Structure 1
């Protein structure tokens, strides 16, 4: 049984949501609590005047927006007492209630930090946040990735509202209820997509394959998905585990997957761990999962605002005993980066994919007296070899852009030389395991069947075609007898055995 509130007392490393609405009444007592927590503990060491001016300027801006009211912010207002006085004065002038004007004050203080991971949570926001880390969420049933500024559907959850709609993998979400997602971060996009169970939104999407826009109305539903899922590739004794989040059940589900490998009858010779688009979760989960790969060692170094360094160790773990490849991309953030960096620095794993998100900071969730909460950045973390992660990310050992090619590259680096690759129900199937990819492996071209160039390049080592999107398959079949095209039960399969 999950201990739902245990995490509140622990430092967490999480993919953060910037949540600007304040649904519950917030008194000045909470504003003062937020002020003192941030002033005394935030990693950036903000000045009192910075927080006060940030709060007042934001109230001024919102007053002008909401009521066309012009409020003057005085430069000499730089203390908490000044903030309290001005809030009381402006509240009377504008006729706002406590929840509105104090909400604006808190929002302005936090905005002055330029730290999207320090966040005020109402009680409802807190439940949303916790549910997202536990992979339980209310939503439409698709997973997104951000690519060149576009929000692309990378996976549609079975038996979800999205699966019963016209949406397809590869569609780009352009607007939500008329609000454009242009220039938004992934965190900001989730703000527009979240909502209560049963609520509806109108999505405008662009479908590149058909060069057209379409509108889809969807209703949100409650879904709970596994945090970790594992299976064996058909060839070579390689295990695969997809880790979706670092929630309270992640380590147990990881352990179950590893136990299933050992009971399969096929000796495990290598492991592919997939943390692509995994935005993070609890520090304790990352530490416990690291203990499934290593007996003992430093997980990370953290420094606080005063430069005090603390070591976090993994102890009483076990050596996984096989080479590991970790699939990463720009959506791999925070706890994903922490685990990946630690396993690489200890020589356990190599990273395959693209540069990670770059969130190398740790937060603590603090309960406020009114029942709301503050998620506050306290530390910056570094890998065991003191690699900087924050705002930089981790560069993979094998840089591979294409989703399917990343899997091929990881398996090749683990010694796999025999392949079967196909498309099935919108997935790319590689040696028996389906992967949700934005682009299919095969498509019909003007001159016959074409294959995804990046996948073929990684498969046969043809680096010269790696920058193309698709290439005609026939010439490569003629030139390479080990490359064969088969039709298995109506499914086109590309087989290859390298020397």
Structure 2
């Protein structure tokens, strides 16, 4: 069964469609999926491709697990022949209908080379929809993957994690004694998944205390806001972080933007954080785009026959200040759609690293047994016809360091005053905390404070600093008179005033 997680949520173009009812056919779901994929999938698969894939999917697993030899002909290339073979194999391998349908469907879909077209059981569909809506069963933290480490980037209030003493910046090492070293994001999320009320022991490393600890947590149902935001210190630059494009994302984004505008009527710029946002509903991306432009082209979509359709934003509202969108390799799908649309319409610039590259849109189709098929129907392109799928969007301002991305974004919209400090493992930039794997400051063997070079480079504009991890700041304090570092607290505070603007 293909797995689904919030970090790679699909872009959903439409929800709906009615199942094809065939109650007297034991292979009804396999037939439904076959017909939908044959008639609608973007890649225009052949009948033979799907039939052979379905039969091969069943054959491989049955021969491996049941040690029963199954044979089919290379000439089997019709729906009738597929159903005949499946009926034979049901009796020969003593397979239940549900398992046989699932194996056939998975074998069929495997031929598409499309990780976004997938079969959902009822339970999978509920999980998928909950993920899109940021309704989760879990421990109550968000993770970010950087430099091979799994970082707790946010602890959700009133969650098991918040009650346990886990902190932002903790690094997740193992789940129930099983190491996460070498695991990718999907494997890590699978290890963390579980039913409400079940427990797990998490092993974490806390860099701020240089120690490892174990914490036992119980999974709980959690609803997480899709949008967070605040004003940077100084009061005229806003920050909004968007976690996913669920059904409430646009409303929450609008309310947060209105709140910031009310707090600062003279708003001079906005940072929109789409890092690690795997997408959601394209309709939510369109509605958020309408908060930035009164009218404009959102995207082009093409179907399997190459027919191109324009999608427009209308009756929106314009803004008068610069926008910077923070992106990284976890920015995908609807996030890429929004970022590309605002950039191509001259509203925003992208800051960070190349995005994921998911430029396709899917539809959820209910099946007769209560399961569902998510199928890729369209590829989308930005308003300037930039290809996204399997390519990603290149940033206008490239920067790999998580905290330095924020500094560069603020620089680019004319911010003159900066204050950087460390707090509970976070890097705090002008009053807003950002989780970071690498500490902003550390001491060397002589007891001197060193600063992370990429952050300092982004602050003062000396690119060559980025080749080192940390640098002694002493010479730079002498070179830049408006660069100051206070060391009278437990951790230093770095300030910088831009001259000549």
**Which TM-score applies when normalising by structure 1?**
0.89
Distance 2:27 2:201 in 1: 37
Q: What is the aligned partner in structure 2 of residue 21 from structure 1?
A: none
Any idea what SS the aligned residue of 1:132 has? helix
* Aligned-pair CA distance for 1:67: 1.9
In structure 2, do the counterparts of structure 1 residues 91 and 181 end up closer, same or farther at CA, with 3 Å as the change threshold?
farther
Q: 1:11–1:365: 8 Å Cα contact kept in structure 2?
A: no
Distance 2:404 2:161 in 1: 27
Distance 2:67 2:166 in 1: 42
Q: Deviations over 1:142-189 (max 9, x none)?
A: 3233446665443333443344266763625566775977464x4454
Once structures 1 and 2 are overlaid, which stretch shifts more, 317-326 or 57-66?
A: 57-66
Q: 1:235–1:416: 8 Å Cα contact kept in structure 2?
A: no
Distance 1:374 1:179 in 2: 34
In structure 2, do the counterparts of structure 1 residues 69 and 166 end up closer, same or farther at CA, with 3 Å as the change threshold?
farther
Any idea what SS the aligned residue of 1:83 has? helix
Q: 1:299–1:313: 8 Å Cα contact kept in structure 2?
A: yes
In structure 2, do the counterparts of structure 1 residues 13 and 411 end up closer, same or farther at CA, with 3 Å as the change threshold?
farther
Distance 1:218 1:56 in 2: 43
Q: What is the aligned partner in structure 2 of residue 449 from structure 1?
A: 449
Q: 2:207–2:425: 8 Å Cα contact kept in structure 1?
A: no
Show the 5 A alignment for 1:194-273. 194-201=193-200, 218-235=217-234, 237-273=236-272
Q: What is the aligned partner in structure 2 of residue 5 from structure 1?
A: none
Show the 5 A alignment for 1:111-190. 111-147=110-146, 151-163=150-162, 164=164, 169=169, 171=171, 178=178, 182=182, 184=184, 186-187=185-186, 189-190=188-189
Q: What is the aligned partner in structure 2 of residue 109 from structure 1?
A: 108
Q: What is the aligned partner in structure 2 of residue 390 from structure 1?
A: 389
In structure 2, do the counterparts of structure 1 residues 159 and 119 end up closer, same or farther at CA, with 3 Å as the change threshold?
same
Q: What is the aligned partner in structure 2 of residue 290 from structure 1?
A: 289
Show the 5 A alignment for 1:403-414. 403-414=402-413
Q: What is the aligned partner in structure 2 of residue 30 from structure 1?
A: 29
Q: 1:31–1:105: 8 Å Cα contact kept in structure 2?
A: yes
Unaligned residue ranges in structure 2 (runs of 5+): 1-9, 15-24
Unaligned residue ranges in structure 1 (runs of 5+): 1-9, 15-25
Q: What is the aligned partner in structure 1 of residue 484 from structure 2?
A: 484
* Aligned-pair CA distance for 1:123: 1.4
In structure 2, do the counterparts of structure 1 residues 28 and 210 end up closer, same or farther at CA, with 3 Å as the change threshold?
farther
In structure 2, do the counterparts of structure 1 residues 99 and 84 end up closer, same or farther at CA, with 3 Å as the change threshold?
same
Q: What is the aligned partner in structure 2 of residue 471 from structure 1?
A: 471
Q: What is the aligned partner in structure 2 of residue 7 from structure 1?
A: none
Distance 1:245 1:330 in 2: 15
* Aligned-pair CA distance for 1:452: 1.1
Equivalenced residue count is 478
In structure 2, do the counterparts of structure 1 residues 87 and 124 end up closer, same or farther at CA, with 3 Å as the change threshold?
same
Q: 1:122–1:373: 8 Å Cα contact kept in structure 2?
A: yes
Any idea what SS the aligned residue of 1:281 has? coil
* Aligned-pair CA distance for 1:320: 1.4
**Which TM-score applies when normalising by structure 2?**
0.89
Q: What is the aligned partner in structure 1 of residue 428 from structure 2?
A: 429
Whether 1:371 aligns to 2:374 is no
Q: What is the aligned partner in structure 2 of residue 52 from structure 1?
A: 51
In structure 2, do the counterparts of structure 1 residues 11 and 419 end up closer, same or farther at CA, with 3 Å as the change threshold?
closer
In structure 2, do the counterparts of structure 1 residues 219 and 326 end up closer, same or farther at CA, with 3 Å as the change threshold?
same
Q: Deviations over 1:250-271 (max 9, x none)?
A: 1111111121122214510111
Q: Deviations over 1:438-460 (max 9, x none)?
A: 22211222231111111100001
Q: 2:57–2:107: 8 Å Cα contact kept in structure 1?
A: yes
Once structures 1 and 2 are overlaid, which stretch shifts more, 65-74 or 260-269?
A: 65-74
Distance 2:267 2:156 in 1: 29
Q: 1:53–1:78: 8 Å Cα contact kept in structure 2?
A: yes
Distance 2:320 2:235 in 1: 16
Show the 5 A alignment for 1:319-358. 319-358=318-357
Q: 2:29–2:369: 8 Å Cα contact kept in structure 1?
A: yes
Q: 1:174–1:182: 8 Å Cα contact kept in structure 2?
A: no
Distance 1:130 1:414 in 2: 37
Once structures 1 and 2 are overlaid, which stretch shifts more, 335-344 or 261-270?
A: 261-270
Q: What is the aligned partner in structure 2 of residue 458 from structure 1?
A: 458
Once structures 1 and 2 are overlaid, which stretch shifts more, 456-465 or 260-269?
A: 260-269
In structure 2, do the counterparts of structure 1 residues 421 and 112 end up closer, same or farther at CA, with 3 Å as the change threshold?
same
Q: Deviations over 1:363-422 (max 9, x none)?
A: 011111111111110000000000000000000000000000000000000001111111
Q: What is the aligned partner in structure 2 of residue 277 from structure 1?
A: 276
Distance 2:108 2:187 in 1: 18
In structure 2, do the counterparts of structure 1 residues 498 and 98 end up closer, same or farther at CA, with 3 Å as the change threshold?
same
